[in-house]
Amino acid sequence: MKLEKIAELVGGKLEGDGSLEISGIRGIEQAEAGHITFLSKKTFLEILNRSQVSAVLVKEVVDTSVSQVIVASPELAFARLIREFHPEPQPKPGVHDRVVVGKNVKLGAQVTLSAGVCIGDDVEIADHVHLYPGVVVGDRCRIGSHTVLHPNVTLYRDTELGSRVILHAGVVIGADGFGYTLDEKGAHYKINQIGRVVIEDHVEIGANSCVDRAAMGTTLIKQGTKIDNLVQVAHNCTVGEHSILVAQVGLAGSCTLGHHVVLAGQVGVADHVTLGDQVTLTAQSGTFRSIESNKVYGGHPAVPLGEWKKYVTILPKLPELARKIRELETRLNEIENNPSSR
């Protein structure tokens, strides 16, 4: 593909030879002749100038002999070019002869149902949906157009997926929430979970993550949210639009997250907590209190990030401070018990 065509595709301004033939796309440290890369920081300029790369996506013109395409967001333009050079494989539509289909199932156009797929009764599957081998779809589920369910995904009954949803291998949507109460004999008595899960458009959920059905009502994942591998979303949670939940995050029941919330790896959120819009919790943080919008918190229990940084700085010094305090206490006792030493 000619570089001038690439500039047109990403809406960029060309600085250099537009007739260059670009054969591939690579990261800055792997790029070779014929490739295009992107420059995220000027600190990588030295690496760029040592490479044999043919073209680079930049936010502004930089000091290099490499042909440049100036765009508002080099990383976004790079991501779009990856799709251009390496499009996702498109399955051949059709229903495998080893698919089990229940009663009153509605299939849209260009649907792909792979071997071992099992579909319950009264299910609706829209156009261009792809179900990989081993997918199980429970009764009364709804799946929007262009949605992809990778191998061994399970949708329990009454689950609703929007359009262009991606669920990776082993995801479980709609399993029972973790709800019990004690009976007269002190045994755990299961509370039947009679709600459902709704996942809106453009949501992606990583491998082996779980979103539990509501006890009553709906567990809701709003549009554009991205959830990493091994994440637990408990019953009756609401996750706001375009939020990010990184690996091993755990949300207890009835949490509410605003839009563009970011929970880094292994964050824990206690039940009935509300996180406002654009809240960020740093890795391994834990909170049992609600947090206002536009805040960044860290630690366990989570506090404003500036405070947490102070705690982390002081923490390694505590043994030495404790030793000095003991020495001072000993000296003070000596003075008090021996007036002549004053």
Q: What is the CATH number of the domain that holds 169?
A: 2.160.10.10
Q: Is residue 78 domain-shared with residue 129, that is, in the same domain? A: no
Domain end, chosen from 58, 85, 112, is at: 85
Number of domains in the chain: 3
Cα–Cα distance, 116 to 110 (Å, whole number): 18
Q: Is residue 164 domain-shared with residue 110, that is, in the same domain? A: yes
293-327 CB burial, b ≥16 within 10 A, e <16: eebbbbbeebbebeebeeeeeeeeeeeeeeeeeee
Predicted confidence pLDDT, tens digits, the chain (342 residues)? 999 999 999 999 999 999 999 999 999 999 999 999 999 888 889 899 899 999 999 999 999 999 999 999 999 999 999 999 999 888 889 999 999 999 999 999 999 999 999 999 999 999 999 999 999 999 999 999 999 999 999 999 999 999 999 999 999 999 999 999 999 999 999 999 999 999 999 999 999 999 999 999 999 999 999 999 999 999 999 999 999 999 999 999 999 999 999 999 999 999 999 999 999 999 999 999 999 999 999 998 999 999 988 888 888 888 888 899 998 988 888 888 876 655
Cα–Cα distance, 101 to 119 (Å, whole number): 5
Cα–Cα distance, 290 to 31 (Å, whole number): 46
Determine the structural domain holding residue 329 and report its residue range.
310-342
Q: Is residue 216 domain-shared with residue 256, that is, in the same domain? A: yes
Question: Pick the catalytic residue: 35, 202, 235, 260?
Answer: 235
Active site residue 86: no
Q: What are phi and psi of 167, to 5 degrees?
A: -115, 120
What is the pTM for the complete model shown?
Answer: 0.89
Q: Is residue 133 domain-shared with residue 202, that is, in the same domain? A: yes
Cα–Cα distance, 133 to 130 (Å, whole number): 10
Domain end, chosen from 85, 108, 143, is at: 85
Q: Is residue 331 domain-shared with residue 215, that is, in the same domain? A: no
Contact 224, 203 (CB under 8 A): yes
Domain end, chosen from 39, 68, 85, is at: 85
Q: Is residue 146 domain-shared with residue 286, that is, in the same domain? A: yes
Q: What is the CATH number of the domain that holds 58?
A: 3.40.1390.10
Q: Is residue 145 domain-shared with residue 221, that is, in the same domain? A: yes
State residue 332's pLDDT score. Answer: 87
Q: Is residue 301 domain-shared with residue 159, that is, in the same domain? A: yes
State residue 114's pLDDT score. Answer: 96
Cα–Cα distance, 166 to 204 (Å, whole number): 5
